[in-house]
Structure 1
Amino acid sequence: MDIEEVVSTEYKTFEPDARASKIKGFFQESGEEAVVVEGDGYRGVVTRRMLISSHVNPDEKADSLVGNPPRVGRREDVRETARLMVESDFKFLPVEEGNDVVGVVTANDLLRNVNSQLNVLSVEDVYTQDLITVTPSTTVGRIINIFRENAVSRVPVVDGGLEGIVSLYDILGFSVREERRDKGGGGTGKSRDSSGGVQGGFGPRHGDADRMLDIPAEDVMNSPVETTTADEPLDEATERMLNRDFSSLIVVGEDGGPSGIITKTDVLRSLTWTDESHMDVQISNVEFLEPMSADDVAEMVEEVADKYAEMQVLHAHVHLKRHKEKMRGSPLILARVVIYTNKGQFVVKGEGYGPKNALRIARDKLERRVLESKGVSRQDRDAERMFKEMGGYL
């Protein structure tokens, strides 16, 4: 199946000299995920996520913000398009004919087109069990750091029970509202003039971007939260996300507490799985992998899997994030590894200078996690080995 039916020729464009604040305002008002920057020709794409994930000056020009997602043709295969979206972390790909961009394809349109075929899977098959949560008092600044450090874009708010959820887009929308209030709109921290009218401003945080980072999660979160269960058919869960414009659903257990999260990215990833016997490994931000190769990463995962004959790895996903910090020329790399197996899902993170160190740390954590799932700790295994080497005598 190809993507021709879901290619759209209607998308928002901005000139290269458009200010970041203007694009940010458009995202908040329209709910769109991305825009195309065009001058004499196609320059690139700016996404909502870019404006939150980086420190962006409001006066910065669009031309300096653009990213360059992979381009696809009208007849590109659905699986390949989904793979490119997952690995590039762009859910909005330009469609080209020759050297010209003639349209776009979005993750939402792609999922709508294939959703009827997802009924063979359930939420349990694809959802992420490694759930990072915050409390109602966690600050916006801390949440942004959690997004950056863990390569996630949303966190549930928990206080005994599930209270809400905060996403990158909630923070973007909130910051735009506060900027507008700063220019005279109404808001929290209201005061009334002698005529009884509401004056502008928003209390003690007025005009103070640094103090905006101190705002608690409960002030920006969405509530109530849309939830699902592990046994819900994947097509039904995906349809709810698409129809209600949710980017994710919180997976709850029998006690009603959060046990994981399913996102549209998780669903896209499931489209890339194959029936082939070899291990399927995907790498996001593969350019950060040099001088290693994708085969090196697959070999790393296979080394762990081969030690445990009962475990079969169905799919593995590695997300790489490069920090600005360096040591002897090697950048600090965060490697987040997720493997989907017949024994459940395992998620680990490793951080080190250069991809080799980061992935080595992740591999060691992965091995420990698998051992723990079997009820055998590393210490127990080593003690058993030493006992055997000593001939069974203490």
Structure 2
Amino acid sequence: MPTTNVINHCHLRLSMNDISLADCGLLAAEAIPGSTPIAVALEKVKQQPALIVIEDGKPTGTLTERDIVRSRLEQGTASDILTHTPVLSPKATVADAAAVFLGSQKKSVAIADRNKPLGVVTDDHVLSCMAKEDFGKRKVKHFMTAKPAIVTPDQSIGSVLALFRHKNISRAPVVLDKKLEGIITLHDMVTKYGPQHKMRKGDLAGEKVKMAKVRVKDIMTRQPITCTPDDTVQKVIGIMVDKSITAIPVVDGDLLAGIITKHDLLRPLAEAKDTTSGLEVEAQGLQDLDPFERSRVQGELASFSDDMGRREGEGRLRVKLSFFKEHVKEKRLTRTQATLTGKKGKVQADAKGWGPYASVKEALKNLKRQLSRKP
């Protein structure tokens, strides 16, 4: 009945906003200056869930081993590959953390009190905490994606990459005659296809390597871990954390019924956030970015939205990215047009930079500068 659904949703909202990150417990993490060399940061992060990066005397984000490896950079500093994300207080709720995870595509968030770093929380940590609550007793069928994008065993890797890019996803069930045959992920393509063909940065966009002859069945994971629609959220979270996976196909017998991902589980937590203020963000052009660049840009937008939402209240931020042919060290000249509409009216900014992240960061900085001049 509709009334029951509303009651359950309200209960979930109250629960999410009642549990603080301090209640879940913070994970220890070392704070490093943004000037730390990437090679040094990589060695340090292997011993902990994440590093907290300090810039201008305050924490501005986190770096995980995954972040550093995905950047594919061996030289430079922590600041060069950092995605700026909102830094939360220990009094923030699990709903606040879930909103940051979804908005920035990051798996960790820094916790600080008056710019003093206290630790981090990860998506696994938050989900494990909530699995012990009533949320964990709910069924997979309430949160799964019932009609996910699928591929077939004989499909080419090139077409799968195009699908991933178009849908902004990183994995898909492999299906034949409605039966689950396996699962293929972006990670599979990098680790299994990459070494054989000596892939380099940019290859995943299909711009340098022809992959028409490589088929899904050649590199997919066969007999993947599965769950059923009636399994509990607690069980699924336990599997994801224990096996270090982000998605599980949902089956009814041997037929595919859907897929459940960490994002599917984080989304209801984030939606429970008390959103009395904040910016609605609309971005064009992100689909043309590789996963690492997209994550950095989304993190910058999430950080700006969180900051401006607290200062200005509700509003709308529209960002449009356009790209030029000029390149410098594999970075495209990028133009960012940003428009912020809020209580101070409409403010616009335009910036160019080498790479999407630099361009977006400069445009948002220009928006802040213009806002500070308005009465």
TM-score, normalised by the number of residues in structure 2: 0.56
- Judged with a 3 Å threshold, the aligned counterparts in structure 2 of structure 1 residues 142 and 6 are, in CA distance, closer, same or farther, namely farther
| Equivalent position amino acid for 1:7 in 2 | L
Q: Determine the structure 2 residue equivalent to 1:260.
A: 258
| Bigger-Rg structure (1/2) | 1
Give the Cα separation in 1 of the matches to 2:261 and 2:111: 24
- Judged with a 3 Å threshold, the aligned counterparts in structure 2 of structure 1 residues 105 and 206 are, in CA distance, closer, same or farther, namely closer
Maintained 8 Å contact 2:110/2:117: yes
Q: Determine the structure 2 residue equivalent to 1:130.
A: 147
Maintained 8 Å contact 2:29/2:49: no
Alpha-carbon deviation of 1:110? 1.0
Q: Identical aligned pairs, as a percentage?
A: 22
Give the Cα separation in 2 of the matches to 1:168 and 1:12: 31
Q: Tell me the number of residue pairs that the alignment of Structure 1 and Structure 2 aligns.
A: 266
Q: Determine the structure 1 residue equivalent to 2:165.
A: 148
- 1:242 pairs with 2:258: no
Give the Cα separation in 1 of the matches to 2:221 and 2:26: 31
Give the Cα separation in 2 of the matches to 1:330 and 1:132: 32
- 1:83 pairs with 2:99: yes
Alpha-carbon deviation of 1:126? 0.7
Alpha-carbon deviation of 1:274? 4.8
Give the Cα separation in 2 of the matches to 1:169 and 1:12: 29
Give the Cα separation in 2 of the matches to 1:111 and 1:219: 33
Q: Determine the structure 2 residue equivalent to 1:211.
A: 209
Q: Determine the structure 2 residue equivalent to 1:384.
A: none
- 1:287 pairs with 2:281: yes
Alpha-carbon deviation of 1:323? 5.6
Please, which runs of 5 or more residues in structure 1 have no aligned partner? 179-201, 291-319, 332-394
What is the aligned counterpart of 1:164 among 182, 188, 191?
182
Alpha-carbon deviation of 1:227? 1.2
Give deviations 1:160-214, integer Å, cap 9, x for gaps.
Answer: 4322222233344447x72xxxxxxxxxxxxxxxxxxxxxxx4xx3577533755
Q: Determine the structure 2 residue equivalent to 1:299.
A: none
* Partner secondary structure for residue 287 of structure 1: strand
Give the Cα separation in 2 of the matches to 1:43 and 1:273: 24
For residues 14-163 of structure 1, the aligned pairs below 5 Å read: 16=35, 18=37, 36-37=52-53, 42=59, 44-46=61-63, 62-117=78-133, 118-160=135-177, 161-163=179-181
Please, which runs of 5 or more residues in structure 2 have no aligned partner? 1-18, 285-317, 325-334, 339-375
Q: Determine the structure 2 residue equivalent to 1:186.
A: none
Maintained 8 Å contact 1:11/1:104: no
Give deviations 1:320-350, integer Å, cap 9, x for gaps.
Answer: 9966469x9879xxxxxxxxxxxxxxxxxxx
Alpha-carbon deviation of 1:262? 0.6
Maintained 8 Å contact 1:43/1:63: no
| Equivalent position amino acid for 1:163 in 2 | E
Maintained 8 Å contact 1:3/1:78: yes
Give the Cα separation in 1 of the matches to 2:32 and 2:168: 28
| Equivalent position amino acid for 2:182 in 1 | G
- RMSD of aligned residue pairs (Cα, Å): 4.4
Maintained 8 Å contact 1:250/1:262: yes
Give the Cα separation in 2 of the matches to 1:156 and 1:36: 35
| Equivalent position amino acid for 1:252 in 2 | V
Maintained 8 Å contact 1:6/1:110: no
Give the Cα separation in 2 of the matches to 1:52 and 1:147: 20
Maintained 8 Å contact 1:53/1:148: no
Maintained 8 Å contact 1:87/1:286: no
Alpha-carbon deviation of 1:149? 2.0
Maintained 8 Å contact 2:29/2:52: no
For residues 261-280 of structure 1, the aligned pairs below 5 Å read: 261-274=259-272
Give the Cα separation in 2 of the matches to 1:38 and 1:219: 44
Maintained 8 Å contact 1:49/1:169: no
| Equivalent position amino acid for 2:25 in 1 | V
- Judged with a 3 Å threshold, the aligned counterparts in structure 2 of structure 1 residues 19 and 218 are, in CA distance, closer, same or farther, namely farther
Maintained 8 Å contact 2:52/2:117: no
Give the Cα separation in 1 of the matches to 2:276 and 2:160: 29
| Equivalent position amino acid for 1:224 in 2 | Q
Maintained 8 Å contact 2:283/2:319: no
Alpha-carbon deviation of 1:275? 12
Maintained 8 Å contact 2:322/2:336: no
* Partner secondary structure for residue 242 of structure 1: helix
* Partner secondary structure for residue 106 of structure 2: coil
Alpha-carbon deviation of 1:250? 0.6
Higher relative contact order (CA 8 A, sep 6+): 2
- Judged with a 3 Å threshold, the aligned counterparts in structure 2 of structure 1 residues 260 and 100 are, in CA distance, closer, same or farther, namely same
